[in-house]
Structure 1
Amino acid sequence: MAAFLNTLVFGIYPYIALAVLALGSIIRYDREPYTWRSGSSQLLRRRQLVMGSVLFHLGVLIVFFGHLVGLLTPIQLFDLVGISHTFKQILAIVVGGVAGGFALVGATLLAHRRLFDPRIRASSSFGDNAIILLLWLQLALGLATIPISLNHLDGHEMVTFMAWAQGIFTFDFAASSYIAGAHPIFKLHLFLGLTIFLVFPFTRLVHMLSVPLRYFWRPGYQIVRSRRPAQAGRMQRPAE
């Protein structure tokens, strides 16, 4: 039974979550484009929003891309450039710990603001409240893995998670077996991360996909409205 659940959660569930993430985002953008936004409530408790948002987004971006590079970069590439597994493990602990701490503080401020301000709570949906709590829990679980990782500075455990993640994207059907013996906190962290991918298209998180890349090469000026001919807006003086 344990082997079956491990295969179900870490061998099959990842494909379900990623498929819903991709297809759900496309369908929502096509059918409900006007809901594709963050739904900001910045006019209420703005100072707490700005502080929490900056800390949260800064930390989450570092953590996300750190996981992306750390898990999906081929192990052979690290070996080729001479980056040892121990150094990679320590780097992940230090950078991930600092960035995760920032993100957790930011998420705490945002959750407190959304749940304990009556005006903001009244305008928040169930999904708004649920996703910030899921993100908070995920960040807390990520930080909780640090003491365990400190006992495995040889980097072997990290290599197993790299093999699992890369196995999912290369359709290695034995990928789930690579982390069968991982610590339960790591498994819960992975499961919750996959669940966030699953619910992603149905929450305000979709605004993350709307990065305004064209901003960097837009013209130096913007035309707000066309200029009317000089005479069009003038009133003619009556003849004397």
Structure 2
Amino acid sequence: MTATGPSMYSGAPAHQVTTTDTLLWVALPYVVIAVFVLGHVWRYRYDKFGWTTRSSQLYESRLLRVGSPLFHFGILVVLLGHIGGLVVPKRWTTAAGVSEHMYHVTAVALGTVAGLCTLAGLAILIYRRRTVGPVFSATTRNDKLMYAVLTLVILLGLSATVAANLLGGGYDYRETVSPWFRSVFFLHPRAGSMAGVPILFRLHALSALLLFTIWPFTRLVHMLTAPVGYLTRPYIVYRSHDTTLGRRPPRRGWDLPR
């Protein structure tokens, strides 16, 4: 893939900002940030013991051994790619000697592979959760919502990449989406940067905002914590539902069952 003209990798031209643009790309991000931060504070204060992945490995491990590494490897690469693309300005990579063409080809190739790995791993995890009885019984409504939104975010991201860069002539989101993303955190949001962005990129951004809105109330909170608290917090007591437990005489020493 080579650059063929000034339109290659070029961002969208300036567009007039409408009321809808202001609501979606100015007001909504700050609402999401507030819910994200305050939601985590509330969750940690009132649900410390729920701050966990709610591991179901005890119920089934064969599918988990395949789906979980595939999903976590893919999502880690996707996350690093998004950080690099949204946070690092284009002029920094150019100053570091990385040409736009080199960056574009690498980002599209790695992003597509990582996205497919993430989607495949997520599909295995969802299949496992739906078909393994004990795992499905331990699935909450929040889990179902989280899986649905996460799948939507990944599908829209892959669709945007394929449609714009593999099937189309190329689109450089670092000239539009990235400046908007950084401007939100600089408290000077640029809604005009998103006004002319292709629809799949905008839907991907909106689905990501939805994911961050529900994040504090799902098992995804475990991604934002280190397991330091496990060293000092009280033990979580698990009780068996076996009605015969306690009625059988204990075995002595190393005696084996007969």
TM-score (norm 1): 0.82
Match of 2:143 among 128, 143, 147: 128
C-alpha distance in structure 2 between counterparts of 1:180 and 1:213, whole Å: 44
Alignment match, 1:199: 214
- Count of residue correspondences: 214
1:160 aligns with 2:170: no
C-alpha distance in structure 2 between counterparts of 1:113 and 1:183, whole Å: 35
C-alpha distance in structure 1 between counterparts of 2:222 and 2:216, whole Å: 10
The answer to whether the 8 Å contact 1:142/1:189 transfers is yes
Of 187-196 and 9-18, more deviation after overlay is shown by: 9-18
Match of 1:185 among 177, 200, 204: 200
Alignment match, 1:171: 187
- Specify the SS of the correspondent of 1:82: coil
1:84 aligns with 2:99: yes
What are the ranges of 5 or more consecutive residues in structure 2 without an aligned counterpart? 1-15, 232-258
Change (3 A) 1:8 1:133: same
C-alpha distance in structure 2 between counterparts of 1:214 and 1:70, whole Å: 33
C-alpha distance in structure 1 between counterparts of 2:115 and 2:226, whole Å: 22
1:149 aligns with 2:165: yes
What are the ranges of 5 or more consecutive residues in structure 1 without an aligned counterpart? 219-240
How much does 1:213 deviate? 7.1
C-alpha distance in structure 2 between counterparts of 1:214 and 1:40, whole Å: 17
The equivalences for 1:88-127 within 5 A come to 88-127=103-142
Q: Which amino acid aligns with 2:176?
A: T
TM-score (norm 2): 0.77
How much does 1:152 deviate? 4.1
How much does 1:105 deviate? 0.3
Alignment match, 1:70: 85
Change (3 A) 1:192 1:28: same
How much does 1:102 deviate? 0.6
Q: Which amino acid aligns with 2:186?
A: T
C-alpha distance in structure 1 between counterparts of 2:147 and 2:56, whole Å: 14
Match of 1:46 among 47, 61, 65: 61
C-alpha distance in structure 2 between counterparts of 1:156 and 1:186, whole Å: 11
Structure ranking higher in helix proportion: 1
Of 100-109 and 115-124, more deviation after overlay is shown by: 115-124
% identical equivalent positions: 33
The answer to whether the 8 Å contact 2:122/2:151 transfers is yes
